[in-house]
């Protein structure tokens, strides 16, 4: 069920340069969320900025939920100024979330930059559903913006770091780290991050016979399937599924269904 709630801010702390975690009191949203869903946040009361901002729900449970965000523009800059005790209006949970099929032997999470946000909640769900902590590939430009490492370690997930500049873990990209983990046909990969990274992760999965669920980002106005502002192109043949709404049919898709423009065949 989708809720529209005034949520009290419990904390809004900096977790890395330019990155914050907003913890909100909102029992109804916390109870009804599944991993990979998102919410639309009003970044300040009133009409400026007019549009809500979509954010993954990072962790949820009990009476509260959290959002991990990167400050990139006006809306997130305003979010960064919010103080404990303030109120934020939130619509959610929205979108489909990740699915957890049980037939796989390995589950690997690949998060790039702020794309890591929906993955701690997914790790928690995978542990609950499969009994085993998933492997996690944490990718970032540099060491200081590797996010959530301690959260995954606390859940006993094997964590593999990879940075563009080599300042922590493997020197390279998320897709290099995934290739090194040797995924196979018994592996399900979950990924969230920049489109170019997810396209490369999809390619590694296709080359190794693995399956992949990708959580996409798009500019959103309504967040609820009405404005058609968030459509992406698919590889599907049916007329009504050639374009899909990230907010409504997604944000999580079988990576074979998305046209990545990487030259990789989508379906086998
Ligand atoms: C499903 C989903 C989940 C996401 N999860 C996260 C997350 O967990 N953490 C995170 O940091 N980011 C997340 N994002 C990205 C996040 O939504 C953007 O970074 C955020 O909206 C940036 O807002 P801004 O105002 O700071 O940036 P801006 O660049 O100022 O605005 C963001 C977008 O809003 C639109 N916009 C702004 N102003 C106007 C206007 N006047 N008219 C029309 N359009 C306008 C633009 O299209 C722009 O691209 C997610 C996005 C999606 C779709
Ligand atoms: S944001 Fe309006 S349809 Fe997706």
pLDDT tens for each residue of 60-104? 999 999 999 999 999 999 999 999 999 999 999 999 999 999 999
Residue 136 lies inside a defined structural domain of this protein: yes
- The answer to whether residue 235 sits within a structural domain is no
Write down the pLDDT at residue 45: 82
Model pTM score: 0.94
Contact 250/94 with Cβ under 8 angstroms? no
Task: Look at residue 243 and tell me if it is in a domain.
Answer: no
Q: Is the peptide bond preceding residue 25 cis, with omega within 30 degrees of 0?
A: no
Q: What average pLDDT score do residues 156-168 get?
A: 97
Q: In the listed set 70, 94, 118, which residue is the last one of a domain according to the structure? A: 94
Q: Are 146 and 56 members of one domain?
A: no
* Structure-model confidence comparison of residues 47 and 206, the more confident one: 206
**246 found inside a domain:** no
What integer is the mean pLDDT of 3-27?
Answer: 97
Check residue 241 and give its pLDDT. Answer: 86
Model confidence pLDDT, tens digit, residues 106-142: 999 999 999 999 999 999 999 999 999 999 999 999 9
Is residue 196, in this structure, part of any structural domain at all? yes
Any idea what the CATH number is for the domain that residue 48 is in? 2.40.30.10
54 close to ligand 2 (CB < 6 Angstrom) = no
Domain assignment present for 233: no
CATH number at residue 182: 3.40.50.80
| CB of 15 shorter than 6 A to ligand 1 | no
Determine the atom of ligand 2 nearest the C-alpha atom of 223. 1
In a domain, 232, yes or no: no
**Structural domain range at position 70:** 3-94
Asked whether residue 234 is assigned to any structural domain, the reply reads: no
Judged on CB neighbours under 10 Å (0-12, 13-18, 19+), 251 is buried
How high is the pLDDT of residue 265? 46
15 lines ligand 2 (CB under 6 A): no
Mean pLDDT, residues 193-212: 97
Residues 155-192 as b/e (b if ≥16 CB within 10 A, e otherwise) read bebebbbbbeeeebbbeebbbebbbebebeeebbbbbb
Residue that finishes a domain, picked among 31, 59, 94: 94
CA 18 to chain centre: 18
What's the pLDDT score for residue 44? 86
Index of the ligand 1 atom closest to the CA of residue 71: 26
Average pLDDT, the chain: 95
Residue 191 sits in the same domain as residue 144: yes
pLDDT on residue 267: 46
Same domain, 136 and 184: yes
Task: Give yes or no: residues 118 and 80 share one domain.
Answer: no
Q: How many domains does the chain have?
A: 2
Q: Would you state the pLDDT for residue 268?
A: 39
190 and 158 co-located in one domain: yes
């Amino acid at each position: 069920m989708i809720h529209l709630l005034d949520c009290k801010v419990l904390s809004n702390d900096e977790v890395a340069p330019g990155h914050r975690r907003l913890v909100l009191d909102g029992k109804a949203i916390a109870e009804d969320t599944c991993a990979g869903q998102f919410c639309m946040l009003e970044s300040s009361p009133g009409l400026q900025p007019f549009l809500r901002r979509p954010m993954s729900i990072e962790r949820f449970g009990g009476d509260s939920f959290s959002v991990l965000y990167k400050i990139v523009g006006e809306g997130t800059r305003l979010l960064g100024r919010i103080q404990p005790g303030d109120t934020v209006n939130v619509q959610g949970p929205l979108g489909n979330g990740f699915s957890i099929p049980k037939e796989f032997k390995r589950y690997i999470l690949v998060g790039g930059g702020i794309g890591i946000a929906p993955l701690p909640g997914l790790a928690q769900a995978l542990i609950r559903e499969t009994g085993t902590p998933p492997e996690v590939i944490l990718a970032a430009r540099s060491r200081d913006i590797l996010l959530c490492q301690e959260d995954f370690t606390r859940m006993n997930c094997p964590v593999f770091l990879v940075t563009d500049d080599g300042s922590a873990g493997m020197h390279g990209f998320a897709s290099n780290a995934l290739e090194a983990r040797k995924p196979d046909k018994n592996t399900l990969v979950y990924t969230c991050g920049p489109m170019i990274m997810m396209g490369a992760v999809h390619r590694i999965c296709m080359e190794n016979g693995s399956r992949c669920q990708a959580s996409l980002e798009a500019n959103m106005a309504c967040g609820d399937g009405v404005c058609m502002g968030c459509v992406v192109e698919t590889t599907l043949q049916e007329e009504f599924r050639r374009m899909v709404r990230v907010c409504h049919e997604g944000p999580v898709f079988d990576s074979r269904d998305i046209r990545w423009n990487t030259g990789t065949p989508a379906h086998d």
